[in-house]
Structure 1
Amino acid sequence: MPDKTFLDSVGQYFDNAAPHTGLPDGLLKQIKVCNSVYQIYFPVKINGEVQVIEAYRAQHSHHRSPTKGGIRYSNHVNQEEVVALATLMSYKCAIVDVPFGGAKGGVRINPWEYSEADLEKITRRYTTELIRRKFIGPAIDVPAPDYGTGPREMAWIYDTYRSFHPDDINAAGCVTGKPVSQNGVRGRTEATGRGVFYGVREACNQQELMDRLGLNLGIEGKTMVVQGLGNVGSHTATISQDEGGVKIIGVSEVEGAIYSKDGFDIHAVIAHRAEHGSILSFPGVESYGKDDRRSVMEFECDILVPAALENQIDEHNAGNVRAKIIAEAANGPITAAGSTILAERGIVVLPDIYLNAGGVTVSYFEWLKNLSHMRFGRLQKRFDERNYRRIVEQIEETTGKQISDRDRSMIIHGADEIDLVRSGLEETMITGFQGMYELYKSKDDIKDLRTAAFALAISKISNDYISLGIWP
């Protein structure tokens, strides 16, 4: 039976995992349902004419406060999609122990059809509607960037909220993903892609898993294909190449796909597209036109990274996938029917509710920074550097040997904000993987990592419901 919607797939994943939790049906139903959805229609004057804009904000679960989730601008936005994304956010936060409930927002527009001034009007009016209905606030609901939005839109949201709440000293915590100059945090832009890299690297460090797939231990030297060179896909690819020694052999974008079995420099591909408007003219590769861009899913590789939109691998093409590991950098890129086929074929899927949690993890760090009113590293950086310098000098004095200026600089370096953010993200992704993987290995009746991830998330959310007295 073919898949119906993205929300149907999310519901099916929940139903597959629920029997492994041992929880009563009533509690499972409460965890599964979306608590509240706000549908909005508001007028905005564009080029002298009034347009009525359709928008949403869904808060899936209030087992933790505030709720948290991005805002996407897309002409494909609808209520079911927003609810499905909010639902995934609840489970995502639970897996990586980020203390938020899940939420998501969407504005039904094509952002590339509007000027910057018009987008600002739409964003500020949308934010005003959320403020009026108490669907935003540092202790209520904290939006973030998603598809079609970025730091610019988050700055507009922050400024609009602050104008309504001038006395709120924690106003900066009403939204994350802001520019660093406006109370953002360093490392947020790359966070989801970097989190994907850490998650894939940790999976590739599991000897038992690699033996099963017939792969060598470790991420270095593995081949990778990336669908989508937006924020998440581009950072996943560049970090995997630069820090992991991965060979990028295929990428796709809206205009088509390219492939080379010998690999290519992903930085050069991104620069070429910025200059020429397309990846298809990149030299020395096989090119596939717009109509064949989904063929990227069928390129032979070790690791396939779907980093675009949902429902990209389904029952129609799952049987043709030739990757050994699929790393779900996007939300919901594989349908429930497609996921079943991949599991039967022995392909390992690193599920979205774990793998792309890097964004919400660093958003959590930004929120904490905003509430504490202090930059990370401010208290300890100089203290640490002085201590490290004394240690180096003592070693040199004792041994009678001098280390190079380069090594000295590296050793005595105290942690900046970016260092602490990356370290915290790395720890979060490693710990999250281990929790999911240990559950997967401990239960013979759990056949894939996605089911393990959902079961783990459901169990953690249930603990909050019970311990906080939310569940009678």
Structure 2
Amino acid sequence: MPNNVSFLDSVNRYFDAAAPFTDLPEGLLKQIKVCNSVYQVYFPVKINGEVKVIEAYRAQHSHHRSPTKGGIRYSNHVNQEEVVALATLMSYKCAIVDVPFGGAKGGVRINPWEYSESDLEKITRRYTTELIRRKFIGPAIDVPAPDYGTGSREMAWIYDTYRSFHGDDINAAGCVTGKPVNQNGVRGRTEATGRGVFYGIREACNQKDLMDKLGLSLGIEGKTMVVQGLGNVGAHTATISQDEGGVKIIGVSEVEGAIYSKDGFDIHEVMRHRQEHGSILSFPGVQTFGKEDRRAVMEFECDILVPAALENQIDRDNAPNVKAKIIAEAANGPVTADGAEILAKKGVVVIPDIYLNAGGVTVSYFEWLKNLSHMRFGRLEKRFDEGAYRRIIEQIEQTTGKTVSERDKQMIVRGADEIDLVRSGLEETMITGFQGIYELYREKEGINDLRTAAFALAISKISNDYIALGIWP
């Protein structure tokens, strides 16, 4: 993995670049920047008759809002610095999209694909137990979620473990988000980050002056896109961009390599092919790049490049060769600070991760609210709205003497289900978040890129909480 500068160093350099535009005192800036709490633990788990000691972390970056919030990743690359960097980004991310959480992140240093399901359950439950004992988890304390290497299955284990310790907590389901829908999860959570990325890219492409600057037409339809990584985030970004945005997918990469076709391809067919054959490299009619050359995906000719894998993928070595006009950071920290400086000089627009991949935490917030309210979204109003819409249609028919077809009538009168409300709330959040960043970018003298504007906006919002709550003297 390229490592011109550490992930945490990049985050802090972005912070330092934005801080002067906030006019805040140095002491307050330092308090916002530092990570408040880090818990490192080693715990034993019996695997195949042998005891294995597992290394794990949980970082709580900021307590300006409670609870803190952030995913848990399972990866061989997990270390304290990475977890702190991710927790730091979560604080800024939540502030930008007005989700009332402080930032947190967790990590377990394992390769999850080397363990059986029962072994992963042992590790997850023991890790959760450690968090419970140190009061690092709870619906009002710290609320984990899925991340790289984890999913709804692991979140269900966390929920069940927490509930076994806190059987009298009526809000126990709110201790973790990303749970299966049948275990107090929320519809739309799995696709949330990728859908949020789509909404963010679409909103950026709807800014005429920004598109004029890049020499691109207004709107997202017809633009070419390359996606690095077909995991949960990358796959949903690609499919939704193609299906709902009219984007042409012309390149993708995965662990086995990358493929490219200037004429584009159906992303659904590529994903089906990989599922059936175990690789994208045998997909017909495309140019292929092997495992050793998979980073070439960063240099494919396209309008929009979506790094949707891990951090530090575009650095000072390959940034000069990037041909995309827009880089949409679906992953956390895919562009290093050195790489960002080079891209800025090239005139490339980077839509920053601390805004763009906030869809996951936004819908996690909706799930947390659902758990605390003990009410499925749409349950109260769906039938009432349908009845009201039907009466409106009937009145129009009586007044005009014309009849609306039953098919059209059913489409018009349908009340909103939970998935509709979640998507609507996510769309509103991403549009409003971009508008806040873009307003600062256009109006604040000296801010020349969206990332600096995003960091400055986040720092200012967090500082307001510190001051309003009396946390800062």
CA distance in 2, matches of 1:372, 1:327: 35
Q: Deviations over 1:301-345 (max 9, x none)?
A: 000000000000000000000000000000000000000000111
Secondary structure at the counterpart of residue 325 of structure 2: strand
Match in the other structure for 1:166? 167
Matched, 1:428 2:392: no
Structure 1 stretches of 4+ with a deviation exceeding 3 A read none
Match in the other structure for 1:341? 342
RMSD (Å) for aligned C-alpha atoms: 0.6
Is the 1:61–1:101 contact (alpha carbons within 8 Å) kept by the matching residues of 2?
yes
Secondary structure at the counterpart of residue 455 of structure 1: helix
CA distance in 1, matches of 2:170, 2:327: 43
Once the two structures are aligned, what percentage of the paired residues are identical? 87
CA distance in 1, matches of 2:307, 2:436: 23
CA distance in 2, matches of 1:116, 1:465: 43
Match in the other structure for 2:123? 122
Match in the other structure for 2:143? 142
The one-letter amino acid paired with 2:208 is Q
Match in the other structure for 2:54? 53
Match in the other structure for 2:232? 231
- Could you tell me how far 1:121 is from its partner in structure 2? 0.1
Q: Deviations over 1:100-141 (max 9, x none)?
A: 000000000000000000000000000000000000000000
CA distance in 1, matches of 2:144, 2:318: 34
Secondary structure at the counterpart of residue 394 of structure 1: helix
The one-letter amino acid paired with 1:227 is Q
The one-letter amino acid paired with 1:288 is F
CA distance in 2, matches of 1:132, 1:200: 42
The one-letter amino acid paired with 1:324 is K
TM-score by length of 2: 0.99
CA distance in 2, matches of 1:363, 1:268: 30
Match in the other structure for 2:75? 74
TM-score by length of 1: 0.99
The one-letter amino acid paired with 1:84 is A
CA distance in 2, matches of 1:406, 1:127: 50
Match in the other structure for 1:208? 209
Q: Deviations over 1:216-255 (max 9, x none)?
A: 1000000000000000000000000000000000000000
CA distance in 1, matches of 2:385, 2:402: 23
CA distance in 2, matches of 1:252, 1:33: 35
- Could you tell me how far 1:393 is from its partner in structure 2? 1.1
Secondary structure at the counterpart of residue 56 of structure 1: strand
CA distance in 2, matches of 1:444, 1:269: 45
CA distance in 2, matches of 1:204, 1:468: 38
- Could you tell me how far 1:211 is from its partner in structure 2? 0.5
Matched, 1:222 2:223: yes
The one-letter amino acid paired with 2:409 is R
Is the 2:121–2:154 contact (alpha carbons within 8 Å) kept by the matching residues of 1?
yes
Matched, 1:289 2:285: no
CA distance in 1, matches of 2:197, 2:7: 21
CA distance in 2, matches of 1:445, 1:410: 49
CA distance in 1, matches of 2:71, 2:406: 44
Is the 1:3–1:336 contact (alpha carbons within 8 Å) kept by the matching residues of 2?
no
Matched, 1:112 2:100: no
Matched, 1:63 2:64: yes
CA distance in 2, matches of 1:344, 1:410: 49
The one-letter amino acid paired with 2:434 is F
Match in the other structure for 2:414? 413
- Could you tell me how far 1:407 is from its partner in structure 2? 1.6
Aligned 1:240-255 pairs, distance under 5 A: 240-255=241-256
Q: Deviations over 1:427-456 (max 9, x none)?
A: 000000000000000023001000000000
Count of aligned pairs between the two proteins: 471
- Could you tell me how far 1:403 is from its partner in structure 2? 2.1
CA distance in 2, matches of 1:409, 1:445: 52
Is the 2:57–2:106 contact (alpha carbons within 8 Å) kept by the matching residues of 1?
yes
Match in the other structure for 2:88? 87
> After alignment, is 137-146 or 404-413 more displaced?
404-413
CA distance in 1, matches of 2:43, 2:173: 25
CA distance in 2, matches of 1:408, 1:297: 47
Match in the other structure for 2:317? 316
- Could you tell me how far 1:404 is from its partner in structure 2? 2.4
Secondary structure at the counterpart of residue 137 of structure 1: coil
The one-letter amino acid paired with 2:380 is L
- Could you tell me how far 1:398 is from its partner in structure 2? 1.5
Is the 2:40–2:56 contact (alpha carbons within 8 Å) kept by the matching residues of 1?
yes
Unpaired runs of at least 5, structure 1: none
Is the 1:68–1:100 contact (alpha carbons within 8 Å) kept by the matching residues of 2?
yes
- Could you tell me how far 1:396 is from its partner in structure 2? 1.5
CA distance in 1, matches of 2:401, 2:169: 58
Match in the other structure for 2:197? 196
Is the 1:45–1:51 contact (alpha carbons within 8 Å) kept by the matching residues of 2?
yes
Is the 2:68–2:143 contact (alpha carbons within 8 Å) kept by the matching residues of 1?
yes
The one-letter amino acid paired with 2:267 is I
CA distance in 2, matches of 1:405, 1:297: 49
Match in the other structure for 2:402? 401
Match in the other structure for 2:32? 31
Secondary structure at the counterpart of residue 40 of structure 1: strand
The one-letter amino acid paired with 1:91 is Y
- Could you tell me how far 1:395 is from its partner in structure 2? 1.1
Q: Deviations over 1:159-185 (max 9, x none)?
A: 000000000000000000000000000
Is the 1:7–1:84 contact (alpha carbons within 8 Å) kept by the matching residues of 2?
yes
Matched, 1:449 2:437: no
Is the 1:193–1:329 contact (alpha carbons within 8 Å) kept by the matching residues of 2?
yes
CA distance in 1, matches of 2:405, 2:211: 39
Secondary structure at the counterpart of residue 323 of structure 1: coil
Secondary structure at the counterpart of residue 360 of structure 2: helix
The one-letter amino acid paired with 1:170 is N
The one-letter amino acid paired with 1:268 is E
Match in the other structure for 2:278? 277
Match in the other structure for 1:363? 364
Unpaired runs of at least 5, structure 2: none
Is the 2:225–2:249 contact (alpha carbons within 8 Å) kept by the matching residues of 1?
yes
Matched, 1:42 2:43: yes
Is the 1:3–1:9 contact (alpha carbons within 8 Å) kept by the matching residues of 2?
no
Is the 1:439–1:452 contact (alpha carbons within 8 Å) kept by the matching residues of 2?
yes
Q: Deviations over 1:254-295 (max 9, x none)?
A: 000001111100001111101110000011111110011000
The one-letter amino acid paired with 1:100 is F
- Could you tell me how far 1:409 is from its partner in structure 2? 1.3
